[in-house]
Amino acid sequence: MNHVRPVPDGAPKGAPSGGDSAPIGGAPSPGDPRRLAELLGQAAQGDQAAFAQFYDATSARAYGLALRVVRNPAHAEEVTQEAYLDAWRSSARFDSQRGSAAGWLLTIVHRKAVDRIRSVEAATARDETWNRETAPVDHDQTAESAHAALDATRVRNAVATLTDVQRRAVELTYFGGYTHTEVAVLLDVPLGTAKTRIRDGLIRLRDLMGVAT
């Protein structure tokens, strides 16, 4: 891990960032809960050096937890930084009577990590939906053969010989550019019924126009 200390939003000028200055007295032991609680209390009063020491003592555990949850080093880095910024802003709400400072921090890290997973999953789902909805519709081979062999006028004349329900379904699909699902909605019929009408209409066109499948 090679992340830097977060620069707290709204912190007094000179808040610690990666390598600016060594924290006074060095970082406490990660296993010293009393000292970590003291540092958080000092951070709540705006003590940037105290928060830097708290960061140095806990950042390895925080990053490790984030990485175990999100399983992506780059996301884990971002989650860790977000967690420390949140910890700085909310340090006054830490209550040592309710738990350790490290536990309080790791709760924030875990929540941020879970939020990141949900955000990534939601973005992936949106991309998949967009790709699925915008993918070219695979038209029936009969329709492709008809359009390749005959001009639009002959096609429209042939379409005019279809039954009303067949003609409407075919026109919406191949002249209107609607998908089978959209045709079903527009005609207010089940998807299977819409597909049947389209297929029957295309077969009739093939027979009328002598197009081989």
| CATH number of domain containing 182 | 1.10.10.10
How much is the average pLDDT of 72-93?
95
Q: Residue type for 86, please?
A: D
The CATH number for 52's domain is: 1.10.1740.10
The domain total for the chain is 2
Instruction: Answer whether residue 109 shows pLDDT above 60.
Output: yes
Lowest mean pLDDT, pick from 16-20, 151-155, 164-168: 16-20
Q: Are residues 200 and 160 in the same domain?
A: yes
Domain assignment present for 11: no
Containing structural domain, residue 117: 33-133
Higher pLDDT, 173 or 213: 173
At residue 146 the predicted structure's pLDDT band, cuts being 50, 70 and 90, is: low
pLDDT of res. 23: 37
pLDDT of residue 91 exceeding 50 = yes
Closest by alpha carbon to 173, among 122, 137, 142?
A: 137
Nearest to residue 86, comparing CAs of 64, 66, 71? 66
Q: Using pLDDT thresholds of 50, 70 and 90, give the confidence band for residue 141.
A: low
**How many helices and strands, by DSSP H and E, does the chain display?**
9, 0
Q: How far apart are the first and last CA of the chain?
A: 62
Q: What is the mean pLDDT of residues 3-25?
A: 42
Q: Please report, for residues 65, 121, 165, the alpha-carbon distance to residue 56 in angstroms, rounded to integers and kept in the order given.
A: 15, 31, 73
Residues 6 or more apart whose CB falls under 8 angstroms from that of 67 comprise 73, 76
The answer to whether the beta carbons of residues 51 and 91 sit under 8 Å apart is: yes
**pLDDT class of 21 with cuts at 50, 70, 90:** very low
Token pair 């492709």 is at which residue? 144
Residues 149, 120 within the same domain: no
In angstroms, rounded to a whole number, what is the distance separating the alpha carbons of residues 186 and 166? 14
- Answer yes or no: do 123 and 166 share one domain: no
- Altogether, the residues listed in the chain come to a count of 213
Under DSSP, the state recorded for 92 is G
Q: What confidence tens digit (pLDDT) does each residue in 122-137 have?
A: 888 887 877 777 766 5
Q: Residue range 72-91: average pLDDT?
A: 95
Same structural domain, 115 and 160: no
Residue scoring higher pLDDT (67 or 10): 67
Residue 202 vs residue 75, higher pLDDT: 75
Percent above pLDDT 90 for the chain: 38
* Domain contains 69: yes
**pLDDT confidence of residue 18:** 39
Q: Please identify, among 111, 133, 155, the residue that sits at the C-terminal boundary of a domain.
A: 133
Residue 172 domain-assigned (yes or no): yes
**Structural domain ending residue among the three candidates 102, 133, 164:** 133
User: Does 75 reside within a domain?
Assistant: yes
Residue where a domain terminates, one of 109, 133, 157: 133
Q: Is 20 within a domain?
A: no
Nearest in space to 6 (alpha carbons), one of 59, 64, 67: 59
- Note whether 67 and 49 are within 8 A (CB): no
In a domain, 45, yes or no: yes
Computed over every residue of the chain, the mean pLDDT equals 78
- Do 129 and 148 fall into the same domain? no
Q: Does one domain contain both 150 and 92?
A: no
| Higher-scoring residue by pLDDT: 100, 209 | 100
- Does residue 148 have a pLDDT over 70? no
Q: Do residues 161 and 197 both lie within one domain?
A: yes
